[in-house]
Amino acid sequence: MDIPRIVIAGIKSKVGKTMISIGLMRALTNRGYKVQPFKVGPDFIDPGFHNIATGRKSRNIDSFMMDSYSIIETFERNCKGADIAIIEGKTGLFDSHDAIDERGSTAHIAKILRSPVILVADVERMSRTAAAMIYGYKEFDKYVNIEGVILNRIGNPRHLKRVVLAVEKLSGVRVIGAIPRENIDMPYRHLGLIPAHERQEYEMLFDRLADIVEKNVDVDRIIEISCNAESLEDVKPNPLFIPAEKRVGVAGVIQDKPFSFYYEDNLDALSARGIELKYIDSLNDKKLPEIDFLYIGGGFPEVFVEELEKNDSLRKDIYEFCDDNNPVYAECGGLMYLGESIITDGEYEMVGFLTFKTEMNRKFHALGYTVCEVAKDTFAFDRGDQIKGHEFHYSRVIPSRKLDFAFKVLRGKGINGEFDGVIKKSTLACYQHLNVLSYPKFVFKIASAIKTKNTVF
């Protein structure tokens, strides 16, 4: 496959990589290109910005949770109809799931997809030091094709002249953009950049970022570099996304302001298995629609606790759905919602089906990749299987009664440092976020559970 592509990678976090990636995506979109965005790593927030900037659904690719086939297949499947792919990296270019192994890094994705890389470097108050740093990135892994660098936070024309000369002469990497310090902030919340649907002014902001990129970056050169990317081998379609012949049933998906953290591939895979998706608004809908399975993703329920508490009609309906032994799967924010209450500047009643409260803390309670072993058979997981995922949250679970768990934590914190996946009847709620491409059986088992309703643990 010969889709033009480029990886935008930072030398570390918070160097302006996201703003430059969005600005480039929007600039190309404004030029008439059909841009397919991707995000490296387990991130739910940046893809929302990509969606707005390009008008196409961004996809996550991650080499800790996904194998090379799944990464290439995801890339090729979603690039159909696109003119160019922009892949926004995560953290620093070489940062991975541990100190030595490259899995999970932006660099590893660039190698798997044979994609050229553009580095983003914050060079505020640097000149020759920037050259030394960029030279190190170029030499660290010769199989990572760094084709250029965008220098961010240039102070003045004198600084620009010195740092460009130093970088190009001493590191051998071409400078293809130099962006002055701008008073533009992408507001941060405790889990990262705030979700796109909470800010209506993003369209104007993204056009401004596109204008900055057009004025300060050689966009034509980036297009040229992307077109010179090596060809990718065509891989077979993933069976997860081959449409089923028959309709299986209906899944309710709570996707709204409090609960917005879903991998697009998870939803697509459910649909492909013949499961109709009905979307639910936890703030405004008073009853569940006629559904066979309920899926509650993560998000920021703690920000909307008052509104969630006020919608007691829906909360009661969800309680009854769980109590009737229907299959329910919830992650992180969804786990919090199914508990008795959320404690954050007061205590607010939630669904109350699971016997615990969750309390918000000021510091991260858990952040990073996870590995769990399934300790009990459930409607979605088989005992003995290992599941790779990730967790990031500020809340902690305070049990009211003894909890029953489905997962033993091998890496990460889970609910109590040892276990994750609270189970009660056919409800399963965990802190771990799952990408179906790391555990395809999840979707097939849910389809089977919907068919049979045989979901008693």
And the tokens for 394? Answer: 């500020």
- Host H or E run for residue 251: strand 249-254
Q: What are phi and psi of 272, to 5 degrees?
A: -65, -25
The catalytic residue among 79, 332, 372, 430 is: 332
And the tokens for 45? Answer: 């927030």
Does residue 332 have an active-site annotation? yes
Question: Residue 25 and residue 288: Cα distance in Å, rounded?
Answer: 38
And the tokens for 409? Answer: 């934590």
* CA proximity to 48, closest of 235, 257, 319: 257
Question: Residue 330 and residue 254: Cα distance in Å, rounded?
Answer: 10
Question: Residue 11 and residue 135: Cα distance in Å, rounded?
Answer: 12
Residue pointed to by tokens 């889990």: 191
Gyration radius (Cα) of the chain, Å: 23
Instruction: Taking each helix axis as running N to C, give the angle between helix 128-140 and helix 157-170, from 0 to 180 degrees, rounded to the nearest 10.
Output: 40
Q: Are 1 and 234 in contact (CB under 8 A)?
A: yes
Q: How far is CA 343 from CA 361, 394, 438, in A?
A: 9, 12, 33
Instruction: Taking each helix axis as running N to C, give the angle between helix 17-30 and helix 46-54, from 0 to 180 degrees, rounded to the nearest 10.
Output: 20
Question: Left (φ > 0), alpha (ψ -120 to 50) or beta: where does 211 sit?
Answer: alpha
Question: Residue 393 and residue 300: Cα distance in Å, rounded?
Answer: 10
Which residues 6+ apart lie within 8 Å of 443 measured at CB?
240, 266, 269, 270, 273, 436
Per the document, the length of the chain is 457
And the tokens for 96? Answer: 């991975």
Per DSSP, the chain holds a count of helices (H) and strands (E) of 13, 25
Q: How far is CA 449 from CA 250, 269, 272, 423, in A?
A: 12, 15, 16, 16
Burial class (CB in 10 A: 0-12, 13-18, 19+), 218: middle
Catalytic residues: 332
